[in-house]
Structure 1
Amino acid sequence: MKKLMATLSLMVFAVVITGCSSTKGGNAKNLITSTEWELSSINGSAINTADYDRGIPDATFGTDGRVNGGNGCNRYGGTYTLEDNGKLTLGQMMSTKMFCPGTGEGTFMKALHEANMVKVQKDKLVLLNGTKEVLVFVPKKTN
């Protein structure tokens, strides 16, 4: 009985440790679709909230292969595919066309279009262009 309990404990520990590690692809789609994401940094720099008149950019990845959110000024949406190796392909994005001063919206959308890989870590979604981080998201705060 002690041997069985020790084995079960070891298995549970292994599952917990595996669940806390980072992942590319595979289970990444389940992880990115279970959370609404809010932008934390762009091109390696923390965001300046003053650059986004209508809120911090966000992203919601649906299980249906659609992504949508706010880019700091307008709403955007499009399609995505995520392969098991973490390769991300974003389709054509559509956006509303309200005017907002500043360059935050354009910088965000350019970085989004450059993303071609996904890395999911505990409480962090990283979109990369190759190995370069272009967008880092954290779970969106609820009001």
Structure 2
Amino acid sequence: MKKNFLIAATILVLMITGCRAHKMPTLADQSTDMLDKKWQLIELNGKPVAEKINGKTPTLEFLSKDKRYAAVTGCNGVGGEFEVEGNNKITFSAGMSTMMACEDMSVEHGLRDVFGKADNFAISEGVLSLNKAKMAPLAKFKLIETKNASLDGTWELDYISGARIAFDGLYPKKKPTITFDTSTNKVSGNSSCNNYSGAVTLDGNSIKFGPLASTKMACPGNGESTFFQTLDKVNTYSVDGNTLTFIMGDIAIMRFQKK
């Protein structure tokens, strides 16, 4: 009888423990929620932060590809490396920064201080908190939702229509890329030769590029000109998993894969 009772009690304890473990978010789940998204600073040292500081929205991004963070402080862009460990621990290492002087530097100074002090993070209901130990949050950020978030990131061209030269002949060494930031309606990339950047207009699945500016390096072949000429014809797009298709009318004229 006692033996059966002990077995039943042991099973009950294991079930309760397993249930608790299941409900607690893992570090991997939390860091996935944090990565490759744009967060807007809304509170700094317990005080609310305006949406615009010196005409700019203070934001923070964690880039999973190279474990770097990038922040707009309301004045300068700052960044560096970050490291996430168990128990929601996080550390920041300072890197490069622009060096502008702005009228209001208080948020920038405060945010730099946060990166120096924060040792853990938490995410709850779309709000990311950077904390030191168990004290009140040093800074809070809200997730910036974008209607066209599926476009965000970098895509590499693997098909283009209309060219008389085979794809590998057009791009024998380097394929064109395009990177979207739908929170700012900006695009950038490489045409297979020159770097380019500019604006993109999105309305549902309708899309229009321009104006675009590019570097002026001389390029062999017709790959770059074919890329820009075809891009100018695009008026809609579709995303299916890791495949992005640019369409003219009802004809697919460019296809990209997510990098």
TM-score by length of structure 2 reads 0.44
Q: Which residue of 2 aligns with 1:88?
A: 90
Shift of 1:139: 1.0
Against the structure 1 CA distance between its residues 54 and 25, is the aligned structure 2 distance closer, same or farther, given a 3 Å change threshold? farther
Shift of 1:34: 4.1
Equivalent position amino acid for 1:139 in 2 = L
User: Could you give the per-residue CA deviations for residues 16-36 of structure 1, whole angstroms, max 9, x where no partner exists?
Assistant: xx5xx8x47332210100421
Q: Which residue of 2 aligns with 1:39?
A: 41
Equivalent position amino acid for 1:121 in 2 = S
SS of corresponding position for 2:31 = helix
Q: Larger RCO: Structure 1 or Structure 2 (Cα < 8 Å, ≥ 6 residues apart)?
A: 1
Structure 2 gaps, min length 5:
1-18, 146-182, 185-259
Structure 1 gaps, min length 5:
1-13
Segments ≥4 residues shifted beyond 6 Å: none
Equivalent position amino acid for 1:70 in 2 = V
Q: Which residue of 1 aligns with 2:163?
A: none
Against the structure 1 CA distance between its residues 24 and 115, is the aligned structure 2 distance closer, same or farther, given a 3 Å change threshold? farther
SS of corresponding position for 1:27 = helix
Shift of 1:115: 1.1
Q: Which residue of 2 aligns with 1:68?
A: 70
Question: In proportion to residue count, which structure has more strand?
Answer: 2
Q: Which residue of 2 aligns with 1:8?
A: none
Equivalent position amino acid for 1:114 in 2 = K
Against the structure 1 CA distance between its residues 54 and 78, is the aligned structure 2 distance closer, same or farther, given a 3 Å change threshold? farther
Shift of 1:57: 1.3
Match among 96, 104, 119 for residue 122 of structure 2: 119
- Between stretches 120-129 and 133-142, larger displacement belongs to 133-142
Equivalent position amino acid for 1:60 in 2 = E
Work out the CA distance in 2 between the residues paired with 1:24 and 1:43: 27
8 Å contact from structure 2 (residues 51, 58) kept in 1: no
Q: Does 1:136 align with 2:113?
A: no
Shift of 1:111: 1.9
8 Å contact from structure 1 (residues 24, 120) kept in 2: no
Figure out how many residues of one structure are paired with residues of the other and give that number: 124
Q: Which residue of 2 aligns with 1:55?
A: 56
Identical positions, percent: 22
Q: CA RMSD in A?
A: 2.3
Question: In proportion to residue count, which structure has more helix?
Answer: 1
Equivalent position amino acid for 1:111 in 2 = V
User: Could you give the per-residue CA deviations for residues 82-134 of structure 1, whole angstroms, max 9, x where no partner exists?
Assistant: 11210101112321001102222112211222111010112111100112200
SS of corresponding position for 1:86 = coil
